[in-house]
Amino acid sequence: MKLWQKDTPLDRKIEDFTVGNDPLYDLELAEFDVFVNLAHARMLTEVGLLDGEEGKRLKQALVQIHASIKAGKFLIEPGIEDVHSQLEKLLTEATGEAGKKIHTARSRNDQVLADLKLYFRERLAGMGDQVVALFRQSMQQAERYQHIFMPGYTHLQVAMPSSFGLWFSAYAENLIDDLQWIQQAFRLINQNPLGSAAGYGSSFPVNRKLTTELLGFERLHINSIHAQMQRGKSEMIGSMAIASLAHTLNKWAYDICLYNGQNFAFFNLPVSMTTGSSIMPHKKNPDVFELIRAKTNQLITVPQQVLQLIQNLPAGYHRDFQLLKEMIFPAFDTIQKVLDLMIYAVGAIEVNENLSEDERYRLAYSVDAVNQLVMQGMSFRDAYHQVGQAVRSGKFQKPEAMQTTHLGSVDHPGLNEIEAKMKEVQNELNMHVPRAIMQSLLDSC
């Protein structure tokens, strides 16, 4: 069954190629297609394109279908092209003529686009929750180790004194930026395309503002052609949010792999979190972080993959867009798994609390030596040259560490301020509100 089926059957070889993996990915859209149908059916009833009894029967049938989806019993039958065809078939079987009317005043184009937007909203909201959980884990570690020395590096050379508290909270604050990326993607995606039909509107008296409210969209895509231009753009925006977060996690995983090595020995990873060697009994390999590094490298390329697919296309729908699901759906799954592991792993890291005694990090205090001379009245340039000569001659002695006083420094990392910053960003947008609004469509049936 196909919503566009004509009298002439489609060549089987062509059909198999064009359907592709859609039935697999469409199962992830099933619940969202129910919500879109609920909103559409209610709108059709209120504008008089369905009578009250037809609208009631469609609601009841859709609630039952939703229950089967949540119970894991929903499937797309063999020979059914996609989730939209499957739902229309089930509705027709359950309600008769009313089911045949459900597609009135819409196209598969705006239907699919609406489903995808609801799906992206859900995944972005879940990402946001995980980002906050990872932030909490990292901030706990920052609090625990905020006064423990850790050498800072530039160019992979020992640079200046730092701390594990500063390191953990640096990644925590980076997650706030990533959450803002996610929120911005959510806002841009959270616009209603329903009623744009195939991209040129409808001659039926549809109420687009009503479906906007019912589905919890923040606003409406007003121009019907513009609405259809979101196919591809929503995927691009969502993938950029994933890529931003992946970049943070990639750098974090690289740090952990590097600092776990014996030459650094900054961390102690639990044996249960590492793997061994088939011939070297001493090995504790950070495989999980190496795989996180590899997977996030892949995720960072997803926006470019999306852009390569959607570039050089004129306005309107094109079948090219179908392949976007194969890029973006697995990307959401991967980032979810990576975040889950990072939440678990970051909290299990134990740091080496004795690095300040290691002679290798003596030169990290050269800047403190310069600054002390400056505080005593010497010009910075003369102090710099004097300390440099001491370093080159091998006579440099580690000075008494100077206390930093400015916000965001080693001795004043600003953990409370970072916590407040995260709270402020969280309060800017509750990404779970639209889901609660949609849920009322089921509750009212």
Residue at 387 is within a domain = no
Residue at 74 is within a domain = yes
Per-residue pLDDT tens for 286-317?
889 999 999 999 999 999 999 999 998 888 88
What is the CATH classification number for the domain harbouring 342?
Answer: 1.20.200.10
Q: What is the DSSP string of 54-120?
A: HHHHHHHHHHHHHHHHHTT-----TT--SHHHHHHHHHHHHHTHHHHTTTTT--HHHHHHHHHHHHH
Please say which residue of 82, 100, 118 terminates a domain.
Answer: 100
One domain for residues 51 and 95? yes
One domain for residues 342 and 251? yes
Angle 86-225-186 from CA coordinates, rounded to 5°: 70
Residue at 251 is within a domain = yes
Confidence of residue 412 (pLDDT cuts 50, 70, 90): very high
8 Å CB contact between 211 and 184: no
Confidence of residue 4 (pLDDT cuts 50, 70, 90): very low
Confidence of residue 119 (pLDDT cuts 50, 70, 90): very high
Residue-averaged pLDDT of the chain: 92
Distance CA 276, CA 287 (A): 9
What pLDDT score does 10 carry? 56
Residue 131 clears pLDDT 50, i.e. is over it: yes
What pLDDT score does 247 carry? 98
One domain for residues 77 and 170? no
Mean pLDDT over residues 192-214, rounded?
Answer: 96
Mean pLDDT over residues 141-153, rounded?
Answer: 96
Mean pLDDT over residues 247-273, rounded?
Answer: 91
What pLDDT score does 13 carry? 58
Number of domains into which the chain is organized = 2
Instruction: Name the token pair of 237.
Output: 């925006």
Distance CA 306, CA 237 (A): 10
One domain for residues 34 and 144? no
Residues 6+ apart with CB under 8 A from 150: 162, 163, 164, 166, 167, 266, 351, 355
What pLDDT score does 90 carry? 97
Highest mean pLDDT among 277-286, 312-321, 356-365, 421-430: 421-430
One domain for residues 244 and 344? yes
**Phi, psi angles (nearest 5°) of residue 158:** -60, 130
Please say which residue of 100, 129, 164 terminates a domain.
Answer: 100
Instruction: Give the three-class secondary structure for 364.
Output: helix
8 Å CB contact between 113 and 321: no
One domain for residues 89 and 126? no
Residue at 155 is within a domain = yes
What pLDDT score does 278 carry? 74
Q: Work out the percent of the chain whose per-residue pLDDT is above 70.
A: 94
One domain for residues 92 and 239? no
Per-residue pLDDT tens for 44-53?
999 999 999 9
Residue at 304 is within a domain = yes
One domain for residues 175 and 84? no
Residue at 375 is within a domain = no
One domain for residues 182 and 235? yes
Domain region containing 333? 108-199+223-357+414-431
One domain for residues 167 and 307? yes
Residue at 218 is within a domain = no
Residue at 207 is within a domain = no
Lowest mean pLDDT among 60-69, 245-254, 259-268: 259-268
In terms of Cα–Cα distance, which of 7, 45, 422, 408 is closest to 205? 45
Distance CA 331, CA 165 (A): 31
